[in-house]
Structure 1
Amino acid sequence: MFRSNVETVLEYDVLGPTHFCFNIEAAQRPGQTILRERLAVSSGVLVHRFTDPSSGNRFIRFDAPPGPLMVNYQADVELHQQIVPDDLPEVPLVEVPDDVLHYLSPSRYCESDQLQRVAHLQFGALSPGIARVKAISDWIHESVTYMPGSTTSYTSAQDVFVQRAGVCRDFAHLGISFCRALNIPARLAVGYVWFDEPPQDFHAIFEAWLGGQWVQFDPTGMAPVEQLVRIGTGRDAKDVAFSTIFGGVNMTRKEVRVDEHIHALQQQIEAELVAEDA
């Protein structure tokens, strides 16, 4: 068990009547329990909230008039660690569940069809299974430089493969594309996690469908995947943008804070060691 306190503060100068859609709340999903949360939006704004039934992603929507706008979300979240066997196999296509099948197709930022030849040359000879996906993640970590500002909202996995630089979402997009090119369903997950290099921000990893379960991988190596407080899950970044804005605005502040309750994890480890010795 692991616990995190997370917070997002977003401030905008709204230039004209604008519609906002935010995906910044912790998802309601197995293995993740929201103990407490609070959402505050500038007064006078009527907020509509909804949850995508297939992904568990939670959204808030509203119209905002011209002027300053502030959105603040805080939550205490408890995470339950997933046990991942080290011998998980790849799933034959005929056994891929219907709701997982679309994670095999190319998407806006993950051109798995165009990277298919590269994926097979680089990873096709490796034994199928979790070890092959780990090899993909390790290759990205070693071959692509983490470089803030090196990519834009238009950068795709193919672009990242060519320029060999990007940020966390670019690393994840490349991992997803290689997996899909090898007929391994893969998707993007974004959320809150603490890492050493400031400033804190939303973080992206990828998941692969192995042995009948989703397994997390972080090619950046910036943080333990089991400590990610999930916000959203999707085919790529298009599905999990933290904000979608219809109108003219200037962002004046973006602050993400993550405080991890390390002692909770340490207590769990100590309890397990005591149990083993008993």
Structure 2
Amino acid sequence: MKFNVFTQVEYSVRSEGTLILNIHALGTAKQSIITEELLLDPYIRADELHAQQGENRLVKFGVNTDTPNIKVTYRATVNNSYEINDFSNTQEIQVSELPASVLPYLNPSRYCESDKLYRMADNMFGYISNPFEKVLTLTNWINRKVQYLSGSTNAQTSAFDTVTEQAGVCRDFAHLGIAFCRALTIPARYFTGYAYLLKPADFHACFEAYLDGKWVLFDATGLVPLNGLVKIATGQDASDSAVANIFGDVMFNNMQVSCELAEDGFEPFYYSEGEFKGLSYL
């Protein structure tokens, strides 16, 4: 499916500094970039970087008070495809059989303290033998038990905080899902992207669990169709998949984000309890 994605962010510059933005659509085997454009107003030379951990296309540029106001605009047309697989006969993968690239996603991380949530996760979901059903059950539990509440959390909020406060936004829902999965010895990683039908429009966070040799997408918020996402980045958590990292006295002022269909024929896909069909972007 083809999508048009758009981002525009504005900053005020009060000192010399550096901006590292993570707003580009990611090119993968299942996601191709048809056209894209990055504009900096006023013009500043920018370098594209690829993070060593996770999947990211970063753009880095320096700023100073000679250009006190910076506007960054990114737009792209992306052709996105996915697979829907039947996980009804999925078996747990032993850690010894996991690829080396997947092993880091079993570990606790800054926002996903799976070691602190092991007992809770095991008591609530450990009895489920099918790994896909296990992840879908914990995802639905988060959706029912955690209130989606804008402004209820901040950049320091972790999965442990979220399960305690039972409130959060999409990144908090994702972090809790990741922490539960890792506590149950299921590799899981953070996913951020553009989201079709998200209201209000914004970047969206969810997570992927490694099942039967595939990264399978889950969204505990239930706010968007799973096949309406354009991947920007994946990582251990939001700390290495942040949309922006700012160094220096630079103030964020404004942001616009959109994700719209570029062709007809879209049929939204959501998970249903009792079904074992899982969606993956590769």
For 2:236 and 2:206, locate their aligned partners in 1 and report how far apart those are by CA, in whole Å. 12
Q: Deviations over 1:162-209 (max 9, x none)?
A: 0000000100100000000000000000000123522x1100011000
2:119 is the alignment partner of 1:120: no
Amino acid at match of 2:45: L
For 2:53 and 2:156, locate their aligned partners in 1 and report how far apart those are by CA, in whole Å. 26
Q: Deviations over 1:97-125 (max 9, x none)?
A: 10100100000000000000100111111
Amino acid at match of 2:251: N
1:1-278 matches, cutoff 5 A: 2-52=1-51, 55-66=54-65, 67-87=68-88, 88-198=90-200, 200-261=201-262, 263-265=264-266
Amino acid at match of 1:142: R
Q: Structure 1 pair 56/187, CA: closer, same or farther in 2 (3 Å)? A: closer
**Other structure's SS at 2:176 match:** helix
Q: Kindly state the Cα deviation for residue 224 of structure 1 after the two structures are TM-superposed.
A: 1.6
Q: Kindly state the Cα deviation for residue 45 of structure 1 after the two structures are TM-superposed.
A: 1.5
- Unpaired runs of 5+ residues, structure 2, are 268-282
Deviates more, 1:204-213 or 1:46-55: 46-55
Q: Deviations over 1:191-246 (max 9, x none)?
A: 00123522x11000110000011000000001122221000100000011011010
Deviates more, 1:43-52 or 1:151-160: 43-52
Q: Kindly state the Cα deviation for residue 127 of structure 1 after the two structures are TM-superposed.
A: 1.7
Amino acid at match of 1:156: S
Q: Kindly state the Cα deviation for residue 29 of structure 1 after the two structures are TM-superposed.
A: 1.0
For 2:140 and 2:55, locate their aligned partners in 1 and report how far apart those are by CA, in whole Å. 29
Q: Does the 8 Å CA contact 1:28/1:56 hold for their aligned counterparts?
A: no
Q: Kindly state the Cα deviation for residue 89 of structure 1 after the two structures are TM-superposed.
A: 2.8
Q: Kindly state the Cα deviation for residue 262 of structure 1 after the two structures are TM-superposed.
A: 5.7
For 1:44 and 1:201, locate their aligned partners in 2 and report how far apart those are by CA, in whole Å. 25
The runs of at least 4 consecutive aligned structure 1 residues that moved more than 4 Å come to: none
Q: Kindly state the Cα deviation for residue 84 of structure 1 after the two structures are TM-superposed.
A: 2.1
Q: Kindly state the Cα deviation for residue 261 of structure 1 after the two structures are TM-superposed.
A: 3.6
Q: TM-score, normalised by structure 1?
A: 0.92
Q: Kindly state the Cα deviation for residue 56 of structure 1 after the two structures are TM-superposed.
A: 3.6
For 1:123 and 1:247, locate their aligned partners in 2 and report how far apart those are by CA, in whole Å. 44
Q: Deviations over 1:43-68 (max 9, x none)?
A: 34121112236644101101111200
Identity of aligned residues (%): 41
Q: TM-score, normalised by structure 2?
A: 0.90
Structure with the higher fraction of residues in helix conformation:
1
RMSD: 1.3
For 1:153 and 1:7, locate their aligned partners in 2 and report how far apart those are by CA, in whole Å. 24
Q: Does the 8 Å CA contact 1:91/1:209 hold for their aligned counterparts?
A: no
Q: Kindly state the Cα deviation for residue 148 of structure 1 after the two structures are TM-superposed.
A: 0.6
Q: Kindly state the Cα deviation for residue 82 of structure 1 after the two structures are TM-superposed.
A: 1.3
Q: Does the 8 Å CA contact 2:39/2:72 hold for their aligned counterparts?
A: yes
For 1:13 and 1:196, locate their aligned partners in 2 and report how far apart those are by CA, in whole Å. 28
- Unpaired runs of 5+ residues, structure 1, are 267-278
Q: Deviations over 1:137-177 (max 9, x none)?
A: 00000110000100000000000000000000100100000
For 1:124 and 1:262, locate their aligned partners in 2 and report how far apart those are by CA, in whole Å. 43
Counting matched residue pairs gives: 264
